[in-house]
Chain A
Amino acid sequence: MTAIENLIPQRAPMIMIDDLVVASADKAVTKYRVKKNNVFLTDNGYFNESGLVENIAQTAAAQAGYMAHVNGISPAVGFIAAINALEVYDLPCVNSTVETTVTVTNRVFDVVIIEGTVEQNEKLLCRCKMKIFIKPG
Chain B
Amino acid sequence: MDKATIIEKINGFLVEEFEVDIEKVTPDANLRETLELDSLDYIDLVVVIESNFGFKVKPEDFVSIVTFQNFYDYVANRIASEKVAS
Residues of chain A whose beta carbon lies under 8 Å from any beta carbon of chain B: 81-82, 106, 108-109, 111, 113, 131
Majority SS at the chain B contact face: helix
Closest B residue to A84 by CB, please name it.
B44
Q: Count B interface residues, CB 8 Å.
A: 7
With A108-B47, A111-B40, A111-B43 known, 15 other A-B pairs at CB within 8 A are: A81-B40, A82-B40, A106-B47, A106-B50, A108-B43, A108-B46, A108-B50, A108-B57, A109-B43, A109-B46, A109-B59, A113-B43, A113-B47, A131-B40, A131-B43
B residues engaging A (CB < 8 A)? 40, 43, 46-47, 50, 57, 59
Q: Is the interface of A mostly helix, strand, loop or mixed?
A: strand
Whole-angstrom CA separation of A106 from B56 in the bound complex: 11
Which residues of A are found within 8 Å of B57, using beta-carbon distances? 108
Residues of B within 8 A of A106 (CB): 47, 50
The residue on A at minimum CB distance from B57 is: A108
Inter-chain CA distance A108–B50, complex, in Å, is 10
